[in-house]
Amino acid sequence: MRVLLQRVKEASVSVDEKTVSSIGPGLLILVCAEHGDTEDDCIYFSSKISKMRVFPDAEGKTNLSLLDVGGAALVVSQFTLAAAWHKGNRPGFSKAADPASAERLYDVFCDALRGDGVPVETGRFGAMMQVHLINDGPFTIWMDSNDR
């Protein structure tokens, strides 16, 4: 599983020019399930992300978590995070999980985040989406379950 976190002041997802979800301060989380990923990966990531200290405290140090600041998560599926780009000029996506498995794991991840106490909004799985965000920092973190 690959996840890209972006700390945001606000973020939203539109489909067909209509906003389908939005959040204020929190995290935009782009999620990609790959072959071999499990529900355990989803639960591990959700727990790690909900408690990760990426928000500034009163002194400006990154000591506060999403839960500490009462932030929300906007979770968007993004199979392109599985891109193999080393050969040729067209990235390949064969590492990405099949759509049915990916959607199931995406749902498990979102449900696990909710279970951790994080308000979660989502994109629309499989849709062509426009993601709008105001990055805060910018503060961006790359996570890969192979690095656990």
Sort strands 2-15 and 18-23 into parallel, antiparallel or unpaired.
antiparallel
Beta strands in the chain (DSSP E): 2-15, 18-23, 26-32, 55-56, 62-64, 72-77, 120-122, 130-144
114: which 2 tokens? 């909710």
Q: Where are the alpha helices (DSSP H) in the chain?
A: 39-51, 66-69, 99-115
Active site residues: 78-80
